[in-house]
Structure 1
Amino acid sequence: MKLYSTNNPNHIVSLREAVLHSLPPDNGLYVPQQYPALDPAIIENITDYSFRELANIIATQYLREEVPEEIIQEIVYDAINFPAPVINIDDKISILELFHGPTLAFKDFGARFMARLMNHFWSTENKKLNILVATSGDTGGAVAAGFYGLDSIEVTILYPKGKVSRLQESQLTTWGSNIHALEIEGDFDDCQKLVKQAFLDLDLNKHLHLSSANSINIARLIPQSFYYFEAYKQLKKDTPVAFCIPSGNFGNLTAGLIAQRMGLPISHMIAATNINDVFPNYLKTGEYKPTAAIPTLSNAMDIGHPSNFSRIQHMYGSTWNDIKKDISGYSYTDQQTINQILNKHKNNGYVLDPHTAIGVLAAEQYLNSTNTGHQVVVLSTAHPIKFQSEIQAEIDFKIPYPASVHRFLDLESHKTPMSATFQDFKNFLLSKSS
């Protein structure tokens, strides 16, 4: 498979180069020259396949030119070793639970797959690969868990001070070894800016081999497409399916568009955001106006400049009318989020995390404003226990507490406070290489 930069179609690279370097030198994003189409018979007989078998079939379409098929299966079967069940909460809305992995968040799918693929691609090198990750919450913990203990790979995670939950912070700061956590004085956009500056700094790149595990890396998006197929498999095939995605950096939504282009019959996409509503406003006006991020209860979506927006535009040829025809966008406040969590627990007995609550709100608004007859699947991106400290005072019930949570909260934290100044970040990276 060949990929090219969204800023320069003549800059063409192999999958290995795209995965290991993450960003093109022109600051674009890598996209495939073409999206492979699955055999329609696989979609028609999708219930014949296990989740791992489906994931292996999809991954093989992208990797087989550069990775032996037995290695692809080994990567997939090792990475995807937990389920993604669909739970019906009423006759029109279902929840795709993506929080059954080791860090209780959907990022486990992408991080575990990426770590194993990168390790394969880098295995012949006699030097360190340095992974840089900006996180607004769950990415950091998932990447830390996925890459922990890999001798040839160092991981540096940047997260905004005071803007992630206690459990999220524990999941990304308690590893040590090859995992380094930086507590940045700023918001997620500041963290992401530092990572992008590092990739574009020629001097830094002379000393270090840099890559990223954010959704700017195509290796994150490929495995995130797997669970769209798995969700479709679990639903009634005679009803059109729309997917509603709680959205921050829009990697998850982009992965759904990739699944759609591979042949999965997705009828519509719904982008659900908190008050950081750059994308819903774009759908309304046709103007993309990045803003400073505003802190909310759904902190993984506190992003004012979503990096995957350029991929979405590129997939549609920057045609606003086509984008707004295929994707609806809605935004909600913290109070609406809390009200939805209370309402769904009272009426359905189901506990939503703040991000999924926003997704269900958007699904309900979409169904109420259209007459499509769609079944809407809401992607549940994290277990609600990850936000207990943020929402417990606002709700009248106890959130179920998985036993695995205690392991993180009881461990010693390893973090380095840092300003949002690039020179400080660069000095830290260079000090680790000396």
Structure 2
Amino acid sequence: MIYFSTNKTSTPVSIKKATLEGLAPDGGLYVPSGVPGFSLPELELLEGGNFRSIAFAIAKKFVGGEIPLDHLGDIIDSCYPFETPLVELEKGTFIEELFSGPTLAFKDYGARFLARLTGYFASEERKLITVLVATSGDTGSAVAYGFQGIPNTRVVLLYPSGKVSRLQEQQLTTAGGNVHALEVQGDFDDCQRLVKQAFVDPELRELLTLTSANSINISRLIPQSFYYAWASLHLKAEYGMENPVFSVPSGNYGNLTAGVLARMMGFPIGHFIAASNANDSVTRYLEEGRYEPRPTIATLSTAMDVGNPSNFARLRHFYNNDYRAMGSDITGISVSDEDTTAAIRDIYNRYGYIVDPHTAVGFHALEEYRKQSGNRSPGIVLSTAHPAKFLEVIEEALERKIEIPERLRVVLEKEKKANLIGTDYRELADFLKHLDR
């Protein structure tokens, strides 16, 4: 499989080079030269399979040929020792729980796969890889834990000061070892801008071998398609339902892009809802055909507070910049903080089920979509984080205490270790030049 840049001026590369570079030299995002398909017989064979068998089948199409299949199988097995439950709230309405991994967030699916691929390729190249990541919360902790102890790698995490939950901050600042945290006095878009500047800085690239573990890295995006494929096949095998509508809490749009990738591969998916908060640049694009990013707005669903999402470039590529074609597959719905809080209460009162604010955005958007369209297809809401990661929001909404899992309680007791920097790129460049020296 060959990968090329969405900006189309860089030389096409292998999965190894795309993984180790992260961002293409021309500033574009790597995309596959063609999306591999699954035939109906192949899908039928996978229907009764477990999550890891479906993940392996997909990974083989994108990575096969560059990693021996037995080793790729071991990578998949080590990545996903946990379950991916599909919980039925009522007939035809499901929550796909993506928070069973070590950091209790969906980012574990992509980060663990990427970390192992990076480690494998770095050992082949005999290089020290510096992984540079901008995070609005769960990406940072998933990358920190995913890369922790992986040979030939070190990680630098940039997160916006005061704009992630306390639990998220504790997770990404206490990993230690080969993981370094930078608290940026700005918002997520500032963090993302700094990372992009580093990747196109010729002086820095001369000194360091840089890659990214954000969803701009194709090897973090590909594994996010695994749980769409799994859910669509499991829904058919276990419940006799087909072509679900996926409601996707959306911030940087990597998660949604991975779903589109799964649908393009042939997995039985009917439609997508891009569930945003007040940061609605993609929602407005789907309605009007004009992409006009705005400054980031702070909301209760903090991990989705992204004004100018990076992965939108990949979405536009897959739909040939045709917003009507994109809109035929994706409905954008923006959800207010008031409706987010109301959804948290509503889900608890109706089903006795507790969700985090991002999942609440996805649930409310599914309800709105059904009202507007009359579509009664089965609906799957992606639950992107354990509610305990957003204690303040949940406890205020439900007026009750939430139990914190043991692995999070342990993290809260650790000492935060982070360097504070401003939004001037020179501060980041100086830190990276003197890292571990």
Identical-pair percentage = 46
Unpaired stretches in structure 2, ≥5 consecutive residues: none
Partner residue, 2:86: 86
Is residue 257–residue 315 contact of structure 2 (8 Å, CA) maintained in 1? Answer: yes
Residue 127 (structure 1) aligns with: 127
**Are residues 1:190 and 2:193 paired?**
no
Aligned equivalents of 2:168, 2:428: Cα separation in 1:
22
Superposition TM-score, scaled by structure 1 size: 0.98
Question: How big is the shift at 1:433?
Answer: 5.3
Identify the residue that residue 294 of structure 1 maps to in structure 2. 297
| 1:177–1:239 distance in 2 versus 1, CA, 3 Å | closer
8 Å contact from structure 2 (residues 344, 394) kept in 1:
no
Q: Which amino acid aligns with 2:281?
A: V
Which range moves more in the overlay, 119-128 or 290-299?
119-128
3-state SS, counterpart of residue 72 of structure 2: helix
How big is each residue's C-alpha offset from its partner over 1:178-224, in whole Å with a ceiling of 9 and x where there is no partner?
10000000000000000000000000111010000000000011110
Per-residue deviation, residues 272-311 of structure 1 (Å, max 9, x unmatched): 0110111111111110011111111100000000001010
1:317 paired residue among 301, 320, 323: 320
2:282 & 2:343 partners in 1: Cα distance? Answer: 22
**Would the alpha carbon gap of residues 10 and 158 (structure 1) be closer, same or farther in structure 2, given more than 3 Å must change?**
closer
Q: 1:239·1:373 contact (CA, 8 Å) conserved in 2?
A: no
Separation in structure 1 between the aligned mates of residue 9 and residue 331 of structure 2, nearest angstrom: 28
* Larger deviation, residues 129-138 vs 42-51: 42-51
Q: Provide the residue aligned with 1:141 in structure 2.
A: 141
Unaligned runs of at least 5 residues, structure 1: none
- Cα distance, 1:59 vs structure 2: 0.5
SS in 2 for 1:432: coil
TM-aligned CA deviation for residue 47 of structure 1: 3.3
Q: Is 1:261 aligned to residue 264 of structure 2?
A: yes
Note the aligned Cα RMSD (angstroms).
1.2
**1:340 to 2:343 alignment:** yes
| CA drift at 1:412 | 1.7
Conserved in 2, the CA contact under 8 Å of 1:166 and 1:389? no
> Which residue in 2 is equivalent to 1:61?
61
Q: Deviation digits for residues 147-204 of structure 1, max 9, x if unmatched? A: 0112311100000000000100011000111100000000000000000000000001
- Report whether the alignment pairs 1:209 with 2:212: no
Specify the SS of the correspondent of 2:263: helix
8 Å CA contact 1:107, 1:142 repeated in 2: yes
CA contact (8 A) 1:189 1:304 kept: yes
Cα deviation code 1:50-84 (max 9, x no counterpart):
11111111111111121110111011110011111
Q: Distance in 2 between matches of 1:348 and 1:223?
A: 30
Q: Following superposition of structure 1 onto structure 2, how do residues 241-256 of structure 1 map, counting pairs within 5 Å?
A: 241-256=244-259
Q: Secondary structure at the match of 2:270?
A: strand
**In structure 1, C-alpha distance between the alignment counterparts of 2:135 and 2:114, rounded to whole Å:** 16
In 2: Cα distance, 1:400 partner to 1:350 partner: 13
Query: Equivalent residue for 1:98?
Result: 98
- SS of 2:327's partner is helix
1:410 shift after superposition: 1.1
Give the distance between the partners of 2:10 and 2:171, measured in 1 at CA: 40
Query: Do structure 1's residue 430 and structure 2's residue 433 form an aligned pair?
Result: yes
Q: Which residue of 1 aligns with 2:361?
A: 358
Runs of 4+ with >4 A deviation: none
Q: Could you tell me how far apart the structure 2 residues matched to 1:326 and 1:400 are? A: 38
1:127 is displaced (CA, Å) by: 3.3
Does residue 1:418 correspond to 2:421, yes or no?
yes
